[in-house]
Amino acid sequence: MSDHPTAMFIADASGLDFLNSVATPIDEPIDWIRDGRGLVDWLRQAGLVPEHELHSIASRAMPGELDRVADQARDLREWFRGFVNRHLGRPLDPDILQDLAPLNRLLERDEAYGRIARQGGALVFEEARRWRSPESLLIPIGAAMARVIVEEDFTHLKTCEGHGCTLVFADHTRGRRRRWCSMSVCGNRAKVSAHRSRQKAG
């Protein structure tokens, strides 16, 4: 069990929630992926890897192996942060494909396959994946990032307007008026601050 509070999933896109796996929700910065245990716990909370596969990988991992994968995940996160920050607020140009080479190299390592399975009283076609090593935990993260790139309109990606807040989100609201990572956190802080300012001015 992690000694961190529950991770924040406020971005309306899993790939952006991955960026938000390091944040300052109250006063102190928290990195939910600071080590291998944190990575496994974050993936469990994000629902990106089946829980039984996480348990299996964690139980088979050699000492320090998950920590090394967490190092790679943090490097991937910061690469993606740089990409998002460079393109935030404007449409993506298809000519940026070469900039996505690190992500495509990760996705090429996937061992996904399709299979027929039973679901209730019916047969269904489903996608599955071979989880051969701890490094395979990076694949669903890469897929979530790829979905941000191809499915989200970058003109609607925003950073929270809260003072000192670094959280990123996709604004899917009508009129694209979302300003805060969460009304219960930064939104309320801004209201309290504005109220105090009005009281002082009065």
Of all residues in the chain, the percent with pLDDT exceeding 70 is 88
Q: How far apart are CA 89 and CA 32, in angstroms?
A: 27
Looking at residues 26-45, what average pLDDT do you find? Answer: 93
pLDDT higher than 60, residue 1? no
Please give the domain boundaries of the chain with CATH numbers for all domains: 14-107+133-201 (1.10.3300.10)
SS3 14: helix
Q: How far apart are CA 191 and CA 18, in angstroms?
A: 28
Residue 194 pLDDT class (50, 70, 90 cuts): low
Pairing mode, if any, of strands 22-23 and 168-170? unpaired
pLDDT for 163 equals: 81
Of all residues in the chain, the percent with pLDDT exceeding 90 is 78
pLDDT higher than 60, residue 190? no
Looking at residues 91-99, what average pLDDT do you find? Answer: 93
Taking a C-beta distance cutoff of 8 angstroms, is the pair 30, 22 a contact? Answer: yes
**pTM summary value:** 0.88
Residue 182 pLDDT class (50, 70, 90 cuts): confident
Residue 104 pLDDT class (50, 70, 90 cuts): very high
Q: Which two tokens stand for residue 83?
A: 């990409």
> What Å distances lie between residue 157 and 62, 83, 168, 171, 172, CA to CA?
39, 12, 7, 6, 9
Taking a C-beta distance cutoff of 8 angstroms, is the pair 171, 156 a contact? Answer: yes
pLDDT tens per residue across span 125-157: 999 999 999 999 999 999 999 999 999 999 999
